[in-house]
A = this chain, B = another copy of it.
Amino acid sequence: MRISSLSERCNVSVATIKFYIREGLVQPGVRRSATQADYGDEHVRRIRLIRSLVEIGDLPLGTIREVIDAIDDESMPTHDVIGVVHSALTIGKTDADETDLHEPIGEVTAYLKRLGWKVKPTSPAIAELARALSTLRQLGWDVSTDSFEPYVRAADDVAAWELDQLPATRPRSDLVEAAVVGTVVFETILVAWRRLAEQHHSAQRT
């Protein structure tokens, strides 16, 4: 298809597409003549992915480049690409007291080991869980990693469902797009439902 059709299909201006090509985020089209190039479905997919990163992830261009590089590095397993996405999407926290988290991080890591889950040991999610444990304890809550159980079960169900949405034969970039959309949009959905469920259950109990 021509760049004008690509622009229409992706709902992105021709100028923006040209900018992405100049920046190396999107492959140039196949030249047909001095003034025309041909674009395919892989261009649609790539532009959609960039738009997800911009519109939902609100990521700066430098970070988008990191994610795109990870996708384009065919030697990197999808699993690691998702790790890169998660790290890119972490909302900046002031990690001033990260040293205090040494012990709870150990607890979370040991718990993950008991679960038999294969996750990146440097996942920001691990530090977030450690910080949550530490905050709850400071507030006088008696919590251990056992308190994670219902959350693990819920997250396990949701993640399995999300990955089932993608046929195994879909290209890597689709998996990564799903990881981005999942990390941002589906997290919002999960959190919004938790709030509604809390209202619903508290209504039933009063």
**Chain A contact residues, CB within 8 Å of chain B:** 11, 48, 51-52, 55-56, 77-79, 82-83, 86, 112, 117-120, 123, 125-126, 128-129, 131-132, 135-136, 138-141, 148, 150-163, 168, 175, 179, 181-183, 185-206
Question: Could you tell me if B198 and A162 are in contact, using CB atoms closer than 8 angstroms?
Answer: yes
Query: Would you call B148 and A157 a contact (CB within 8 A)?
Result: no
**5 A-B pairs with least C-beta separation:** A154-B154, A159-B197, A155-B193, A125-B192, A155-B197
CA distance A148 to B117 in the complex (A): 25
Residues of B within 8 A of A155 (CB): 154, 190, 193-194, 196-197
Quick one: given A151-B158, A192-B129, are A200 and B56 in contact (CB under 8 Å)?
A: no
Can you offer 16 A-B residue contacts whose CB atoms are under 8 A?
A56-B139, A77-B206, A79-B199, A79-B202, A82-B199, A118-B200, A148-B189, A151-B189, A152-B193, A154-B158, A158-B194, A158-B197, A162-B198, A163-B205, A182-B198, A183-B195
Q: Contacts A181-B139, A185-B135, A190-B190 given: A199-B120 contact, CB under 8 Å?
A: yes
Bound state CA distance, A112 and B192, in angstroms?
12
Residues A11 and B192 in contact in the complex (CB < 8 Å), given A119-B199, A157-B153, A186-B151: no
Residue contact A190 to B191, C-beta cutoff 8 Å:
yes
In the complex, what residues of B have CB within 8 A of residue A189's CB?
Answer: 128-129, 132, 148, 151
